[in-house]
Structure 1
Amino acid sequence: MVLSLVSICAREVVSDHSASPCWLRWVPRELYRPLLEAAFSGCRPLAVGELVQRWPERTLRVGGRRKQGQTAPNRLCIQALLLAVVRGLSDQRYALQVLDLCGLQGDEGGMGDPMGGWSLTVALCTMAVQAKAGAQRAQRREGERERKRFSALEREKDVKRERGQWKRGKELNGDGMGTDNKDLSWKSCGVLSEEEVIKGVRRRMEMERKRESAVAGSGGSRKETESVNSDVLVHVRADLFVNARSWERVRVALNTSGPLKLQCRYLRVEEISVSSIRTLLDLLPRQGLLGIDVRYSNLGVAGLAELLPLLSTFPALSSLRLHYCNLDFRRDHPGQEEALRDLSLGLTTLQELRRLSLTALRLPGQLRVLLSSLPQPLEILELPYLSLSPADLAYLSCSHHASTLQQLDLSENHVDQTTLPSIRRLLSQASSSLQHLSLSGCGLTDGLLGLLLPSLGGCWALKSLALALNPLSMAGLMDLVRMAVRMPSLRHLLYPNPLEDYQPGLPDLPSSAQLLDWPLDEATDINTTSSQLKRVLMDGGRSDVFLTCDLLNYDKDLVD
């Protein structure tokens, strides 16, 4: 990555914190962004805090999609950013109104000590609660000052009243002042103090009204809610990650009305009940939520059918991901047909849904029930570990989703001679739109891959292709790479280790689990296989295709 001159200078400026008082006062607003980026990349939390506390614009965006090789911001820098936002709330000159942290979180335990999604969520909730407590302390201090000011005005009024009475008595005893002048002097003395008293009373009443509105809960009336929202100084947008350990803290933060208001773009929940998920959704603003990801929660068919009507109240919801949520359509439970009918009706209300991800939900023969209910065609469909039947794949290849798919994941669904025609028809329908395809662990042999290669080659928009854990020989891999040379848009290819690289004893048609666990032959050099495949790419003039057999570190999102 080539750095610009501004970036190089910014890194040098933020490297010495002792010099910050010299340059902070002279920095023009257009240089705050490169300085903040340099402070993040150079891990300078003190510089991050000072820049954020003086941020000159209404919006600050930190995070977003990272480029290949770019790491997430350091944990200390993120903490400094959040503390600086809270400190800036007490400054009337603070310009920040929207803090956008969507996509900021990194992988827990990654390089550079990034802050993961769970830790960031907890830190944001703590920040919201602390900001409210600070605002309440400031209101109490202001109220105390107003009380003292009001008391001083009352004392001054009493003194002036006594002086007026003394003057009036003196004039009545023959001091020579006329009645009109006496009344005028008395009134003018009283009118001035009365106006000040009225202003003080009005100000105290206004502060008391605001305090009562801030203390009011989220279940108040619409008028109270509008009053609470009027006190919000900074709206914080983020992706929230909630599990059983953090659920209560997140609930309190979302239910807190104060100067900081949390807004959620993508909500990820793990190991919490349906009722807890409902509570969280009830507390989220309706306009901001784009997607929900539910993992390792015992939803069941009835639980999902219960959640869907609530999900439909979020007009921008475009992504629904369910991973290991105990959706089992194979068991003959009482009321299963009714639950399926409720589930189908609930899916029809998701008007903006474009992404549907279902992992290990045991849905053989029921794909038509789910996908035919959706009012709009999907763009992203992920169906790994679903034990899809030939009828499921046949429906998918003819459905209204096939021609709009941009991303398709059919990993760990067995492909054989009976399902191969449906796969080929599906690829033909999606040939102009499909950009990412995963067929890892589908049991593709050399013969099946040979029949599938013409259909894969026809997907001219395909950018990434994953075929890991398939029982392919070296000859099959060479045919695969030769096909990749002729695909102009392809940039990433995840290929399986050839069968020749494994130790002896592997079955003739090994499963994906066996290929994952079986040791590789120590006498075989993996780099030799990689070199042979890369040579085929080079001979075809395709140095822009990234080849890898590393399943754990493969990331299709790094394409482009």
Structure 2
Amino acid sequence: MVLTLVRLCAREVVSDHSSSPGWLRWVPSELFAPLLEAAFCSCRPLAVGELVQRWPERSLRVGGRRRPGQAGPNRLCIQALLLAVVRGLSDRRCAMQILDLCGLQGDEGGMGDPMGGWSLTVALCTMVVQARAGLRKQKRREGERERKRFSALERDEDIKRERGQYKKEQEPDGDDESSDTERMTLSGSAGDEEIKGVRRRMERDRQRDGPLAGLGDSRRENEEKELGSNVLVHVRADLFVNARSWERVRGALNSSGPLKLQCRYLRVEEITVSSIRTLLDLLPHQGLLGVDVRYSSLGVAGLAELLPLLSTFPALHSLRLHYCNLDFRRDHPGQDEALRDLSQGLAQLQELRRLSLTALRLPGQLRVLLSSLPQPLTILELPYLSLTPSDLAYLSCSHHAATLQQLDLSENRLDETTLPSIRRLLSQTSGSLQHLSLSGCGLTDGLLGLLLPSLGGCRVLKSLALALNPLSVSGLTDLVRMAVRMPSLRQLLYPNPLEDYQPGLPDLPSSAQLLDWPLDETTDISMTSSHLNRVVKDSGRTDLSLTCDLLNYDKDLVD
């Protein structure tokens, strides 16, 4: 109740920006967090900027896991936050040393205008470069002020020296000869002092204009060392890099300054192996947890080249490869050696717990890939992998089976020959498996009927996806009757029954045909949904959600 009252008050306080000068200076440090949360929720970028610029604590965490249905922070608020971080570097009231933005990015074009992963990465890199340039300008201004002060002191000394000499020349002396000799000596010494002063100024100007005198490289090196030693804020984030943003990200990671960029999860798209190598070389080795490579033509040899670099990141536990053209063909020379190098590279990933391989076309090679991993996996995603019966037989007996919490075998064709391996696999994972996807696997009513006892034995299963399988209303009814007897199951993604499609489908349609074939408009499609939900209601279950919406299905909503 108190927390709710604090949130309501915080939202009311940040709603009027004109009053912020009156209350901001008196706010205790423990209220900055609820005020910042209220500013984000109410989309008050000016309040966000003022709070972040004066942040009183050592660390600031923005982002993280959001509640179901909760939109990400508004783009304007994120931009205001980043600008305030740069301004806070010169604000003595700001105590921030760690800025954690991991998980902040939303879906591009989503509700509420969130900032997507690519846009956030570009904005972060721009912030790092701007902070570096600002510190350089500040140091140059300080150096210029110091030089002017020193020059003014020298001019004052020269004036005092000249005035003292003039006074001595005006003093009467009875001995003309000795007086003339003294004047000559003094004037000579004054001339020497003037020459020395000119020399000092020339030497100082030459040092200041060092690049023109060939001293630019050493000055730049000293400046880079000085900037690198002045890291004020460590920025942690998830980075999304593609061909358009690669140069900017590389520049930000390679630069030294008051902001140091660190990466938790790295996602790269459509860039070459050499570019990925460059990024990995620039990343700090302690903070990287996962690497996601998409739509890049790595090949088996390219991936084998990257794996030794990945092994240098001690905390790396997730590796995802999607559409990376790992087409294994034995008739190509050198493929066996490259696959052996790939297996040896995977063996070096000591902390790997998640492996996702999408459409890599490596039939019959699952044993080579998974048997080399030193630790059992908890998440294994193998969609569109053209798995063979030997692959599934190995997986059901591997050291990974008993520890799997998520398993995705979508778009791998299952039949009578692979069914024993699948049943054995489900039996091995029955005590740990929480999320299972068998979408587009060609499961008919008969195959599903043989598989239902094994599915029902998965005691902790929370979500089950069976979309794009050729099932009838009768098969779906049996599926739902089994699902209501699974107390841990919270979400079931079922396919549209064959009766809902227009005539003309083959006897055993593929998932692509089921996806493209039009539904029969003369059939009341909602009847199937009503029938299945009635089965759930009659069982007394109120916590089980049924859906056939493949595009909006999200298994993470049940966690």
**Length-normalised TM-score, structure 2:** 0.89
SS in 1 for 2:380: strand
**In structure 1, what is the equivalent of residue 27 of structure 2?**
27
**In structure 1, what is the equivalent of residue 150 of structure 2?**
150
**In structure 2, what is the equivalent of residue 476 of structure 1?**
475
SS in 1 for 2:375: coil
Contact 1:330 1:364 in 2 (8 A): no
Shift in Å, 1:134? 0.6
Contact 2:56 2:93 in 1 (8 A): no
**In structure 2, what is the equivalent of residue 363 of structure 1?**
362
Shift in Å, 1:528? 2.2
Contact 1:410 1:440 in 2 (8 A): yes
Whole-Å separation in 2 of the counterparts to 1:155 and 1:280 = 52
Q: Tell me, which stretches of 5 or more residues in structure 2 are unaligned? A: 174-203, 209-215
Shift in Å, 1:149? 2.1
SS in 2 for 1:305: helix
Whole-Å separation in 2 of the counterparts to 1:528 and 1:411 = 27
Whole-Å separation in 2 of the counterparts to 1:432 and 1:493 = 19
Greater displacement, 550-559 / 405-414: 550-559
Shift in Å, 1:160? 6.3
Whole-Å separation in 2 of the counterparts to 1:35 and 1:281 = 37
Shift in Å, 1:168? 11
Q: Deviations over 1:181-229 (max 9, x none)?
A: xxxxxxxxxxxxxxxxxxxx9xx99xxxxx9999439xx9xxx86x654
Within 5 Å, give how 1:212-361 maps onto structure 2.
215-216=220-221, 228-361=227-360
Contact 2:347 2:374 in 1 (8 A): yes
Whole-Å separation in 1 of the counterparts to 2:509 and 2:357 = 25
Q: Tell me, which stretches of 5 or more residues in structure 1 are unaligned? A: 174-200, 206-210
SS in 2 for 1:522: coil
Amino acid at match of 2:146: E
For the aligned residue pairs, the C-alpha RMSD in angstroms reads 2.6
Q: Deviations over 1:122-153 (max 9, x none)?
A: 11111111111111110011111111222233
SS in 2 for 1:4: helix
**In structure 2, what is the equivalent of residue 58 of structure 1?**
58
Shift in Å, 1:117? 0.5
Q: Deviations over 1:309-347 (max 9, x none)?
A: 111111111111000000011352111111011111111
Whole-Å separation in 2 of the counterparts to 1:402 and 1:228 = 50
Q: Does 1:108 align with 2:113?
A: no
**In structure 1, what is the equivalent of residue 126 of structure 2?**
126
**In structure 2, what is the equivalent of residue 493 of structure 1?**
492
Whole-Å separation in 2 of the counterparts to 1:167 and 1:57 = 62
**In structure 2, what is the equivalent of residue 401 of structure 1?**
400
**Length-normalised TM-score, structure 1:** 0.88
Whole-Å separation in 2 of the counterparts to 1:213 and 1:347 = 43
Shift in Å, 1:161? 6.2
**In structure 2, what is the equivalent of residue 372 of structure 1?**
371
**In structure 2, what is the equivalent of residue 197 of structure 1?**
none
SS in 2 for 1:241: strand
SS in 2 for 1:99: strand
Greater displacement, 42-51 / 522-531: 522-531
Q: Deviations over 1:65-114 (max 9, x none)?
A: 11101001111111111011111111133211111111111111111111
Shift in Å, 1:428? 0.8
Shift in Å, 1:401? 0.4
Within 5 Å, give how 1:443-454 maps onto structure 2.
443-454=442-453
Whole-Å separation in 1 of the counterparts to 2:90 and 2:255 = 18
**In structure 2, what is the equivalent of residue 387 of structure 1?**
386
Whole-Å separation in 2 of the counterparts to 1:270 and 1:403 = 33
Whole-Å separation in 2 of the counterparts to 1:265 and 1:50 = 27
Amino acid at match of 1:476: G
**In structure 1, what is the equivalent of residue 184 of structure 2?**
none
Contact 1:444 1:471 in 2 (8 A): yes
Q: Deviations over 1:477-516 (max 9, x none)?
A: 1111111111121111111111111112212211101110
Amino acid at match of 2:232: L
Whole-Å separation in 2 of the counterparts to 1:52 and 1:381 = 40
Contact 2:315 2:351 in 1 (8 A): yes
**Count of matched residue positions in the alignment of Structure 1 and Structure 2:** 522
Shift in Å, 1:526? 2.8
SS in 2 for 1:544: coil
**In structure 1, what is the equivalent of residue 201 of structure 2?**
none
Shift in Å, 1:390? 0.2
Amino acid at match of 1:216: E
